Structure 1
Amino acid sequence: MNAPHSAKVAGIDSTVPSPAHTVASAAPGTCPAAPQSATYTADTAETADTANVTDRPGTPCAPGALLQDRLAGWVSDLTTLHELTERLVRTDSLADGLQELLRAGAVLVGARRGLVTLEPADGLGPDTTVGLGLARADLGHIETVPRDALPHGRILDGLPVGEGGLAEPDLFAEKLLDPRHREVAARLGYAASYALPLSAESSASTGAAGSTGDNERAERTARLGAAVWFYDEPAEPDARQRHLAGLYTRYAAPHLARLLEVERTRASMATLAEELLPSRLPRVPGVQLAARHRTGPRGGGDWYDALPLPDAALGLAVGSVTGAGPSAVAAMGRLRASLRAYAVMEGEDPVAVLSDLELLLRLTEPARSATALFGYCEPALRRITLAGAGHSPPLLIGQRRTEYAETSVSAPLGMLACWEAPSVEVQAEPGETVLLYTDGLLHRTGGPADRAFARLHAAAAGVPRAARQDPDAVAEHVLRTVLPDGRAEADSEEDVVLLAVRFD
């Protein structure tokens, strides 16, 4: 009679090795030890053993109890993997994703510290190293070890690695261990390591059906980097820990690859936006200039400009194009270039400059609108003639006053059949600063408009007296005060632009 087959359970991979608690043989008619499961803690990577006190080794075992125990182990492992991958997919930045990978891997392999080195095979970056339980100085010490002496370094150099990863169970027992590696391991207090590669399927085409061989399949596997975990004592993960860690990294790699592409897109959009803005501000007698620009993750359409004009004058502009992404950045570049041309031709009349810009926008970008503020600055007279289209009023910051300049109410460009609004003159005193800004500064506060304006006014009024002599210090103080707790640098859909003009 043939032996009965084990029942198939949905979601269970029959190739998964037996759980650790069933590997040890049990005496006939007795139950093995109760299953152990890894419990994940969100704040710290640690394992906690849980045992069923009713099932003890040596107690009589009912028929099928061994199979039930094995199934319970598989379910426990699948539940752990599910929880860890769920936490990973909720990360929305590359830095958070790498940290979550390290924490989850430490849980699965029973380690306390580790690092992941991101080094995409396409060479496009970003190349970075993130540590878990390792300070920046510790990472620096590890980087002094020759690359081929480190397990993750050998992986990055293309050393073939099986599904089991690269384990070094006792570093100090290895006679061929690199002396520098031995020194660093002793300094940092780790005695063993376990490393795994991070690879994801590339987006290259697979070619004709049936013509793809093993080499081509290997080429389509794009290396992202490598992760390594460190043990304080000689140790190595067992077969099941290796299997679970391998499964997790295979699940994690595609998500990290997507986060990598998002990070690259953000960097590209920020670079493109910066390249479309002035590389440096002009030096004009009688005024000092400073600017701040923060780009959103998708790339926005906020801009600023300052260009010398005839008769020792200066053209000042800030503005914003609706939308986000590459198209908005491109539209911003076109609009800014056009405004520069109009400013050179008729800059002494800001209303005419914005009227021409509105006509161009309506003809070439009919689906967009834009806000803009253009000022014709005469440094010798400490005077700025302003025209605004749906834009927030500038702010005057001096020793005796901090107030918004009164500007006429007007619609954004592209909203009306024919835009027109009167200009206003802003007369500054010696030592005063005129602050131009885009609405993103107000929107990024997350509060109502009136509160945002009040916060901006309070931040400007609170600029230290010594800092008011430097427009760069004024802009920095206002930005950090209006957007505290890192919100000036944090990702936001809103761009932020500040242009500070201080009169001597």
Structure 2
Amino acid sequence: MSAPHLPKVAGIDPEVPVSTQTAAPLREIPAAPGAFIQDRLAGWVSDLTTLHELTERLASTATLDATLDELLHAGAALVGARRGLLVLERAGTTTPSTTLGLGLGPADLGHLETVERSATALGRVLDGPPEAADARDGIATPDLLGDQDLDARHREVATRLGYAASYALPLASEAAGRLGGAVWFYDEPGEPSEKQRHLVGLYARYATEHLARLTELERARADIATVAEELLPSRLPRIPGVRLAARHRTGPQGGGDWYDALPLPDHALGLAVGSVGGSGPSAMAAMGRLRASLRAYAVMEGEDPVAVLSDLELLLRLTEPARTATALFAYCEPAARKVVLAGAGHTPPLVLGDRRCEYVETTLSAPLGMLACWEAPSVEFSPAPGETVLLYTDGLLRRTGDAMDRAFARLHSAAASVPKADRHDPAAVTDHVLRAMLPDGLDRSDSTEDVVVLAAHFD
């Protein structure tokens, strides 16, 4: 008869004999068994800190070019490479591809372009099926020159440029799809470690999402700029006795600043600048309607700027009562060097010549949509031969970041500093004023202000 089994207790095998010996007391504390784990944890913390810093730097980039440059540099640091190449191209779009090199000059990029695309790791990453392992995890080529199957042209270019290994990685994510690929080159045979691949893979997926957002933003801005270009004059008219030049910049959201120059009967010229309140497609559409209406009124009664703006005021009140706008219209007779202008809430023109640089004294008026009797007072003045009349929108003043009184003084100083040799060229005058007012450039991407400058030089 067999002995009865002892009851089982969780975690204890009853058949294993229990020792009757008492363990000897500990005489010293053993070494911490977690020294290895602590080193691993310290390594993980260091890697995560590096990855966090790199992604923060990437997130701070606001333009596509800056993002691509940061991505190339950060990727090179993560995989331990010195040079790299990035190609941005989105399947199914007509947008041309963007190529950027790190440590590679234009001639080097030209040599790389002579290699058949399918013979390179970057080409396989870009053209391979998205579900392929290479398209997800990247392609390491640890010894290019030792590869007997390497394309002959690729071998020649690698020898010429002095790289012996490469690591190619797709720029792809589940949400954004595949936007392109990057490859980093090693001077000696080698490849990134498993940890390096993991880190650069995490970084690349985050970068792809950021690139997708910026790409859509750039496309929207380009569409807005195209619409704005179509709403403004495609060319300036040629009228005897006066030369014209214009510069404008539409904000990234699309704004309502506009200008116009149109020939009128009897060799006269109509000049207009204005601004519609708000931003975005609605403001741009209102700007187009306002400009078209002003052109019609100017052709019918342009010699009376007050009547032009009064009709515009009435139209705005009846059709868009919630909209406000500023406008300035000038009726010019170049042969007589006579200018009659009226403004509704708009900034005064500036006259620049060899003997004077001053603002035209205009009566203060409310903007369109806020006038009490649909009438804006007018003023008449006579520019001397060789003088330039500068019309502009208040976006030029606001872009400086100064208070309005200081911005007006800054504009006056900028106009007065135009070299005498350039004062007879309206394009040179506008460019000098813009450089003096906006040292960072007219196309600075972080500004939401529209800018319009229209110059008329009287011979």
**TM-score normalized by the length of structure 2:** 0.87
Contact 1:368 1:414 in 2 (8 A): yes
Distance 1:155 1:418 in 2: 69
In structure 1, how many angstroms separate the alpha carbons of the residues matched to 2:325 and 2:331?
A: 20
**Residue 85 of structure 1 pairs with residue 55 of structure 2:** yes
Matches within 5 A, 1:80-479: 80-125=50-95, 127-159=97-129, 160=132, 161-202=134-175, 222-479=177-434
- 2:125–2:138: 8 Å Cα contact kept in structure 1? no
1:214-269: CA deviations, max 9, x gaps? xxxxxxx6221111112222221122211221122112211211111111111111
Q: 1:297/1:136 Cα in 2 relative to 1: closer, same or farther (>3 Å)?
A: farther
Q: Distance in 2 between matches of 1:243 and 1:269?
A: 39
CA deviations on 1:148-185 (whole Å, 9 max, x unpaired) are 23322332223542443012222222334344433443
Change (3 A) 1:316 1:196: same
* Letter of the 1:105 counterpart: G
Q: Contact (CA 8 Å) 2:309, 2:376: kept in 1 or not?
A: no
Q: Report the residue type matching 2:316 in the other structure.
A: L
Match of 1:322, SS state, is strand
State the match for 1:31 in structure 2: none
Query: More deviation in 120-129 or 256-265?
Result: 120-129
**Residues 67 and 211, structure 2, Cα contact 8 Å, conserved in 1:** yes
> Which amino acid in 1 is paired with 2:200?
A
Q: AA paired with 1:167?
A: A
**2: CA distance, partners of 1:78 / 1:309:** 68
Could you tell me which amino acid in structure 2 is paired with residue 134 of structure 1? L
Determine if contact 1:373/1:386 at 8 Å carries over to the other structure: yes
In 2: Cα distance, 1:178 partner to 1:365 partner: 67
Asked if the contact 1:350/1:374 (under 8 Å) is kept, the reply is: yes
Alpha-carbon shift at residue 488 of structure 1 (Å): 5.0
CA contact (8 A) 1:117 1:227 kept: yes
Q: What are the superposed Cα offsets for residues 177-201 of structure 1, whole Å, 9 maximum, x if unpaired? A: 3444334434433222111111244
SS at match of 1:172: coil
Contact 1:355 1:419 in 2 (8 A): yes
| Cα distance in structure 2, aligned partners of 1:358 and 1:92 | 40
What is residue 454 of structure 2 aligned with on the other side?
Answer: 499
1:390–1:140 CA distance, 2 compared to 1 (3 A): farther
Other structure's SS at 2:358 match: strand
Structure 1 distance, partners of 2:413, 2:107, is 40
Q: Which runs of 5+ in 2 are unaligned?
A: 1-8, 12-29
Distance, in Å, in 1 between the alignment partners of 2:91 and 2:356 is: 57
Equivalent-residue separation in structure 1 for 2:155 and 2:363 (angstroms)? 72
Distance of 1:264 and 1:91 partners within structure 2: 17
Measured in 2, the distance between the counterparts of 1:384 and 1:184 equals 66
Alpha carbons 1:301, 1:320 under 8 Å: kept: yes
Instruction: Please report how far the alpha carbon of residue 99 of structure 1 lies from its aligned counterpart in structure 2 after TM superposition.
Output: 2.1
Q: Is the CA contact 2:251–2:449 (under 8 Å) kept in the aligned structure 1?
A: yes
Structure 2: how far apart are the matches of 1:322 and 1:442?
Answer: 16
Structure 1 residues 165 and 471, CA, compared in 2 at 3 Å: closer, same or farther?
same
Confirm or deny: 8 A CA contact 2:249 2:442 kept in the other structure. no
Distance 2:86 2:10 in 1: 50
| Distance apart, 1:487 and its partner CA | 5.0
Q: Name the CA distance, whole Å, in 1 between partners of 2:399 and 2:338.
A: 30
Q: In structure 1, what is the Cα distance between the partners aligned to 2:439 and 2:200?
A: 40
Name which of structure 1's ranges 331-340 and 246-255 shifts more when overlaid on structure 2. 246-255
Output the CA distance in 2 between the equivalents of 1:368 and 1:140.
54
SS in 2 for 1:368: coil
Q: Shift in Å at residue 124 of structure 1?
A: 4.4
Q: CA deviation at 1:272?
A: 0.9
For 1:2 and 1:71, locate their aligned partners in 2 and report how far apart those are by CA, in whole Å: 33
CA distance in 1, matches of 2:442, 2:265: 39
Name the CA distance, whole Å, in 2 between partners of 1:79 and 1:115. Answer: 26
Distance 1:300 1:140 in 2: 41
